[in-house]
Structure 1
Amino acid sequence: MQQEKQGQLNKISLIGRGGIGLPMFFCLYIAQSIPSSFFATALQVMMREAHYSLATIGLLQLVKLPWVLKFLWSPVVDRHCLTGRDFRRCIIGSECVYALFIILAGLFDVSDNLYLIIALVCLSLVASATQDIATDALAILMHGGRDKSMVNSMQSMGSFGGALVGSGLLLVVLHTFGWQTVTLCLGLFVLLMLIPLIMRREPVIAAKSTQERARLTDFASFFTQRSIWRQIGFLMLYYASMIGILSMMRPWLVDLGYDMKEIGVMSGIVGTSAAFCASFGAGLLLRRVGIRFTRILFACFILFTTIYFLGLSYLSQPSTLLLYLGIILMWSSYGMATIVVYTSAMECVRPGREGTDFTIQTVLTHLSGIIIATLSGSVAQHFGYHGLFLTESFIAALSLCYILVFFRNKACSQN
């Protein structure tokens, strides 16, 4: 029985690596990222140009709620997606609804129908979040062992690549071709990203037991598992120091005398590109040496990066070269850390509840990021950037110590 199960995992692993497996997941993930990045950035700019108050613009962050609350309906996806055909149908259906709402949002004029457009964008993100739940679960079931790292590279690269295009390139295109043309093209792009999945017909996945079907209460029972709290602690700590610095990066650069165009190039283009490349390299390294070593290695890299910024804070005016190096280090650390976080999250899922458990863990990282970003502003306000970077260096050191103490063995008891 054990040999049969291992043979099935080996077969699935080969299928996940070969053919159009990884490009298929890259397409699905970047289809989520580009429209959401575009809407988050473009609507802010257009609202400010229309003289909306900063308080009203701040409320735009509420459209991200579907991605924070998606754990509430993730058990429904797990319960009804039992075969590769089920996952294929769910992803295609969600993506079509996603594209439909994007196109509908483009049919209305922003100046006259802003709140209707925001509502349509919010609904599109509900469909996108549903697609993400199903895609994550499918990725877990199609990839075994260390091959999870490569599909997580596709997820991370799709996210960073989408941010680069959606919040950068498309803003330039928007001013040239207009709101309606860009949103129509975005809707068509989302549909085109389904082609690799459609070509695959029915994805081959690890068999799901019909006796272990997800229930609506599974998002709560996740926290009752033995040894899961050390994984939760890891999720809350691993990103924390980087999020704290990244949240204050742009204000710091402004205070150093850089304008918005220069900051856009430094952080938005160079930084995001560094994260994109680092994600792929981290996936290859993790696949070769395993998560235990890379978890520690990348934690050391994160600590080095925070100490580097602490050193920069002693300089009254760091050179542009030193700042570029720091930005590349920070975004590379972020890109590498996402691979470790996603892969460790995939290893801590229960049979039949893959989408639910993975979604809960990613939501925890989002909530942790929101808390850290909020607190970092207060720390920088009261203690300056030197105090902020010192605090983040301490958190990075604490994260490394936490890993050395609590992750001497595998992360989850079920593994």
Structure 2
Amino acid sequence: MQTKPITKYTTLLSLYLAQSIPMSFFSTVMPVIMRTENFSLTSIGLIQLIKLPWIIKFLWAPLVDKTATDLKQYKNWILFSELFYALVIFSIAFLNIETHFTTIIVFMLIAFTASATQDIATDAFAILILKEKERGFGNSMQSAGTFLGTLTGSGVLLIIYHYFGWSFLLGGLALFVLLALIPLYFYKTKEHSKPKAAKVITMKDIYFFFTQEGIGKRLILLVFFYSGIIGILTMIKPWLVDLGFNIKEIGLISGIYGAAAGALMAFAAGFIIKSIGKKNALRLVAFLGVVSGIYFVWLSSFVPNLTQLLPAILLLWGTYGMASVIIYTISMDIVRDGREGTDFTIQIAITHLSSLLIAVGSGKVAQSIGYSGLFKIELLMAILVLIFASFLYKPSLKNQ
């Protein structure tokens, strides 16, 4: 008896939620908590380094594939990775952020490594259980899980923290990770088997990706496309703290309303690309990045109220949601036959790495020259992206 599609979709959604909600909490809520505890903006920027395991996870992905010869073993990788993930999160609940900050960062890095390992196994699991006609909606579960995770992790959990505190929240988060594994635990794996690989991908194939004719422009586009908005996104919650908003208000403003705007515009981006084409959609997002930058530079020239802030935050998150979809879409066009996964992962890893560097640097910049100075630099980067995006974008490489 074959597994029903709805069972596959709910299982995948629960797995992506299990990884994304704690990740969103650590990467977006922690800066708010740190700022309320009077940590420097430089330290808050450095917290983004906990995302590093997700950038370098390709280094141990072959180990997961090598040791998983069938779907049941991928399932075991997911279960054990998430159990360890939950254990580390639960351990952090007993630490004090003021007195055990370094220990917490180390534990968070370990937690993110476990989460990245789960993601490797989950992606392979999804490929094996989904039929060709099911993959479109199956992939949407990943996006849905990510945005719902952001909304919950950076919005709802921030409000819970406001009322119940650090230990209660982290304990509950660990429990949620365990509960999210229930659909997978009961998932039947006997009907699926892992296909034999036609050819083993080696490190040389990664090198050859960077030697393709015309790849240089695409790499520059990937590195800088998010540069006009990531710095603002990273520092927006500490800025709200310094403006006098409390944790509950910040959770609503940025975590819930902002993430909802990102989800809405990510969904709309698919229709926009279909209507006006990828190149024009790229230009539109770059233009919205400039508008967002102008808006935030203006807001930083005085003390804004909620009515003035909310449209800017919705615009920023909406721009980010659209940008993510467009980058994923155009990255699928620049892949070699038989190496689609490798080439796509390389391109997304480049955007993650550049975003991480900008996020880390934004804290140092804001600490040195203030939020207004940071927003002006971000605006300049957004203008450069708008000017050069069309020139850098090519729908395909010459040798493809």
TM-score, scaled relative to structure 1? 0.72
Taking only aligned residues, the RMSD between alpha carbons, in angstroms, comes to: 4.6
SS of residue paired to 2:62: helix
How far, CA to CA, are the matches of 1:361 and 1:346 in structure 2?
9
1:305 corresponds to which letter in structure 2? Answer: S
- Output the amino acid matched with 1:371: L
- CA distance in structure 1 between the partners assigned to 2:308 and 2:132 by the alignment: 41
Unaligned regions of 5+ residues in structure 1, if any?
1-14
Cα distance change on mapping 1:303 and 1:209 into 2, 3 Å: farther
Measured against aligned partners, the alpha-carbon deviations of 1:212-240 in whole angstroms (never above 9, x if no partner) come to 22335655554334444333222212211
Q: Which of 334, 346, 366 is equivalent to 2:352?
A: 366
| Pairs within 5 Å for 1:393-408 | 393-408=379-394
| 1:129 paired residue number | 116
- In structure 2, which of residues 3, 25, 35 is the aligned counterpart of residue 38 of structure 1? 25
Letter paired with 1:343:
T
Structure-to-structure mapping, 1:84-233, within 5 angstroms: 87-106=74-93, 108=94, 110=96, 119-136=106-123, 154-174=141-161, 182-197=169-184, 201-202=188-189, 210-215=197-202, 219-233=206-220
Counterpart contact for 2:220–2:392, Cα < 8 Å:
no
Alignment partner of 1:243 is 2:230: yes
Q: Work out the CA distance in 1 between the residues paired with 2:224 and 2:35.
A: 35
Higher mean alpha-carbon deviation, 139-148 vs 332-341, is at: 139-148
Q: CA deviation at 1:332?
A: 0.6
Tell me how far 1:398 sits from its aligned partner.
3.3
CA contact (8 A) 1:71 1:219 kept: no
Counterpart Cα distance in 2 of 1:51 and 1:380: 15
Partner of 1:270: 257
Cα 1:57–1:319 shift into 2, 3 Å: closer
Shift of the 122–329 alpha-carbon distance from structure 1 to 2, 3 Å rule, reads same
In structure 2, the partner of 1:336 is 322
TM-score, scaled to structure 2: 0.74
SS of residue matched to 2:6 = coil
Q: CA deviation at 1:98?
A: 2.4
The equivalences for 1:273-352 within 5 A come to 273-283=260-270, 285-286=272-273, 291-292=278-279, 294-310=281-297, 316=302, 320-349=306-335
Q: What secondary structure does 1:210 align onto?
A: coil
1:99 and 1:77 map into 2 onto residues whose CA distance is 20
Partners of 1:288 and 1:21 in 2: CA distance:
31
Among the aligned pairs, what percent are the same residue?
Answer: 42
